[in-house]
Amino acid sequence: MNSIVTLTLNPTVDKSTTADQIVPDQKLRCAPPKFEPGGGGINVSRALRRLGSDSLAVFPVGGATGARLQELLTQEQIRQEAVPVSAHTRENFIVVDSTTRQQYRFGMPGYPLEADGQQQVLEALQGIPANPEFLVISGSLPPGVEPEFLIQVVRAAKARGIKVVADTSGPALLRILEEGIFLVKPNAGELSRMAGVEELDNEAVGSAAQALVRDGKCEIVVVSLGPQGACIVTRDLTDHVPAPAVKKRSTVGAGDSMVAGLVHGLATGLSLRETVRLGVACGTAATMNPGTELFRKEDVDKLYRWLLQSMPAAAA
C-alpha cells in the first residue's frame, strides 16, 4: 500500500566534491565526485526510508541525468514512479573548500516542463491504485510550471481523501494554502512574508501560524526556525521545540529531513508533540553530516531521545 507518496517536480542529481583553497582564475584540483539523488520530495522519500517508512516517489525524468537519477534511487531501494518527459533532468553542483570547510552550492533552474509533461505527472498521481494517506509536495517548480498546476494536484488529492503536506515557497505556497491543506512547513522568513511583515519574533511566529489555521488554510503548521528549532501550531496546540546543540557541517537536506520526520511520526501514530520533536531531531541530525548527505539514523535516535527527555512533564 502506498501510504506516503512524494511529488518532486524539479528533481536533480547532486554532484559534490571538495577542493583545496577555492580561488578565482586557477585550475582547481577536485576530489572524485559523489552523485546523489536530489530534489525536495525525493529527499523526503530517501529520509523516510532511513526512518523505516516506505514511500513512493513520483517525479518527471528525462535524458542521461534522469537515467542516472533512477539508478541512484534504485540503489537506495526507493520505490519510484518516474514519468518520462522530453525535458532533461537537471544537475546541481556542490563544492566544499577543504581548508575552510566553506560550502559553495550551485543550483540549476532545470529545463522547462511543458504542458504535456505536466499532464503526464498528474495522470501518474491519479493512477496510483490505493489511496495514500499522505501526499508530500516538496521542492521548487521547474520553468514552465505555474502554481495553478499544484492546485490541480491538491484538489485531486483532497477529492480522494489524501492529506496534503506542502514544503515549497513563494507564489506556489500561497496558492496551495488557498485550497486548504493538512500540513505546511514554512521557515520563519516565508511565514513573515505571508503575514506581510519584515520579521517575526518567537511570539509573533505563533500568532502568524495560528492565523493560517484559523483561516482554514491548513490544519497543522510547523515553522522551521533553523538553529532555534521549530514551532508546531494547530487549533489546540502551540509548542516550541529548541534544536539540540550539535556541530553543524552542512544544512543541505535539513528541511527535507524535518519533513520526513514529521510525516513518519504522523504515519506511525506519534502524538503531535512527539512528531515535531522527531522532525527537529531529523533536521538537526542532517546538519551533522558534510556535503549533501542526509542524516544517520543513530544520530536521529540519540537526538530524539534527548528531546523527549527534555519535554516538559505536563506535555509528555
Residues belonging to the active site: 256
CB neighbourhood size of 219 (10 A): 15
Helix or strand or coil: residue 268?
A: coil
C-alpha cell at 269: 501514530
Q: 224: closest CA among 251, 264, 196, 197?
A: 251
CB neighbourhood size of 237 (10 A): 14
Helix or strand or coil: residue 38?
A: strand
Residues 11, 37: contact at Cβ < 8 Å? yes
**Sheet containing 79-84, strands listed edge to edge, beginning at the edge strand earlier in sequence:** 79-84, 56-61, 4-7, 134-138, 163-167, 181-184, 218-224, 230-233, 238-241
